[in-house]
């Protein structure tokens, strides 16, 4: 038997040390990395089961919900999105989907693949979803079964008024499907108080955990819709009627082999979120955002999103005329090991995205970013006032109530 030989020259991978200030993933706290390095246990091990139950309780805290079905989906946020649609939308259902960036467009893809008829609402990229447009859409389509929108649009840095949008959907008896991939723990998010029915997030943003898991929560109204389906979900893996058994603490049944070490890391990040407290986390993201904002503006960058809709954890700025943004990002990576994000879709080449998420939302990251930009920009033909960016950041910090660093 002739075997195919292994590839030549292979060796263990050593990850470079980067500072992650793009749209995700964010820096991972050493406590989370240490937790993930613990011995692997079985996904039905009693000790692991106890940790799973704690994880569910901690997720209820960060989502601010009493929903029983609150758990981490064993896949990234995109799977969280798909899980919501393949369970809550049946062929022929009318779904109102709001698009103000890349991820609203992905919601349309999911709704259509689930067999739904989409009523599309468009707002400018960089603007929040318009409640008036949503209300008008429901008036024109009062039979719509769901409203889907992105709370914090990662492609632009815009935050929409989720409480108002969910209230409108409730008036018309519709469910809500909410993308909270970038908002969870970074800005206020109150699932029960706002009446959100299905929500999903990602582990790699403000939770400061590696990518690969999607925290999610479903209301009793959403589960009633799942139980009343006329047809099976078109996904076996994401079928909530099957997943329910695996996350049932009283009588856990096998569904899939969960990523045990990844879930241990998520558990640790949630323990840290509880130790810090939600309000303190929201304040920390805002505190460092204001310093970064003032520093970026001192360097000549103008924000894409208006102040009232601006996410503190995702800062999108216009690329100044004549600046090669790809060269800027490449130089920051090569010389400073600093990652920032590019624009997507129609904003490709037109904006830069600076993330301040989770463990990345700390003073040393803001200082590194501003120093690196000040060093690189003049070489690319963009003049700067030397020292102005850090002075602006210092002033912004000084004008605010100090916040505690992440322990």
Strands (E), 74-145: 94-99, 117-122
User: Structure pTM?
Assistant: 0.96
- At 248 the pLDDT is 65
d(CA 62, CA 351): 31
d(CA 275, CA 120): 41
Q: What sign results for the dihedral spanned by CA atoms 299, 302, 308, 311?
A: negative
- At 264 the pLDDT is 97
The structural domains of the chain, ordered by start, are 30-274 (3.40.640.10), 278-398 (3.90.1150.10)
- Condensed to tens digits (0 to 9), the pLDDT of residues 158-195 reads 999 999 999 999 999 999 999 999 999 999 999 999 99
* CB proximity list for 3: less than 8 A, separation 6 or greater: none
Q: Is 388 exposed, middle or buried (0-12, 13-18, 19+ CB in 10 A)?
A: middle
- At 257 the pLDDT is 83
Decide: 350 and 303 in contact? Cβ < 8 Å. Answer: no
- At 243 the pLDDT is 80
- At 275 the pLDDT is 97
Residues of the chain where predicted confidence (pLDDT) is lower than 50 = none
Regarding beta strands 94-99 and 146-150, do their DSSP bridges make them parallel or antiparallel, or are they unpaired? parallel
- Condensed to tens digits (0 to 9), the pLDDT of residues 116-136 reads 999 999 999 999 999 999 999
* CB proximity list for 279: less than 8 A, separation 6 or greater: none
Decide: 118 and 108 in contact? Cβ < 8 Å. Answer: yes
Decide: 352 and 329 in contact? Cβ < 8 Å. Answer: yes
């Amino acid at each position: 038997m002739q075997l195919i030989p292994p590839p030549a020259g292979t060796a263990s991978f050593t990850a470079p040390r980067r500072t992650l200030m793009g749209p995700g993933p964010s820096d991972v706290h050493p406590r989370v990395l240490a937790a993930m390095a613990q011995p692997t246990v079985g996904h039905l091990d009693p000790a692991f089961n106890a940790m799973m139950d704690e994880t569910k309780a901690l997720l209820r805290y960060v989502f601010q919900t009493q929903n029983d079905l609150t758990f981490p989906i064993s896949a990234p946020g995109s799977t969280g999105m798909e899980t919501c649609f393949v369970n809550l939308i049946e062929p022929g259902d009318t779904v109102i989907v709001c698009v103000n960036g890349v991820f609203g467009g992905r919601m349309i893809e999911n709704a259509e693949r689930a067999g739904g008829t989409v009523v599309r609402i468009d707002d400018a990229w960089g603007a929040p979803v318009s409640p008036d447009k949503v209300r008008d859409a429901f008036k024109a389509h009062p039979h719509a079964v769901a409203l889907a929108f992105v709370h914090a649009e990662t492609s632009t840095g815009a935050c929409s008024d989720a409480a108002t949008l969910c209230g409108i959907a409730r008036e018309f008896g519709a469910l809500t499907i909410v993308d909270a991939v970038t908002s969870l723990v970074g800005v206020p998010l109150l699932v029960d108080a706002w009446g959100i029915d299905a929500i999903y997030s990602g582990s790699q943003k403000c939770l400061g955990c590696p990518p690969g898991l999607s925290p999610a929560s479903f209301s009793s109204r959403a589960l009633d819709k799942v139980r009343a389906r006329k047809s099976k979900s078109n996904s076996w893996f994401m079928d909530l009627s099957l997943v329910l058994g695996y996350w049932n603490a009283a009588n856990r049944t096998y569904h899939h082999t969960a990523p045990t070490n990844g879930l241990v890391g998520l558990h640790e990040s949630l323990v840290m979120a509880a130790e810090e407290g939600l309000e303190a986390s929201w304040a920390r993201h805002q505190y460092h955002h204001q310093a970064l904002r003032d520093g970026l503006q001192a360097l000549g960058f103008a924000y894409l999103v208006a102040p009232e809709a601006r996410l503190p954890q995702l800062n999108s700025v216009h690329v100044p005329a004549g600046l090669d943004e790809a060269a800027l990002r490449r130089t920051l990576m090569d010389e400073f090991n600093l990652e920032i994000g590019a624009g997507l879709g129609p904003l490709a080449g037109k904006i830069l995205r600076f993330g301040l998420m989770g463990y990345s939302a700390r003073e040393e990251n803001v200082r590194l970013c501003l120093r690196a930009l000040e060093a690189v920009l003049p070489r690319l033909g963009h003049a700067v006032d030397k020292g102005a960016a850090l002075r602006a950041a210092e002033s912004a910090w000084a004008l605010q109530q100090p916040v505690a660093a992440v322990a």
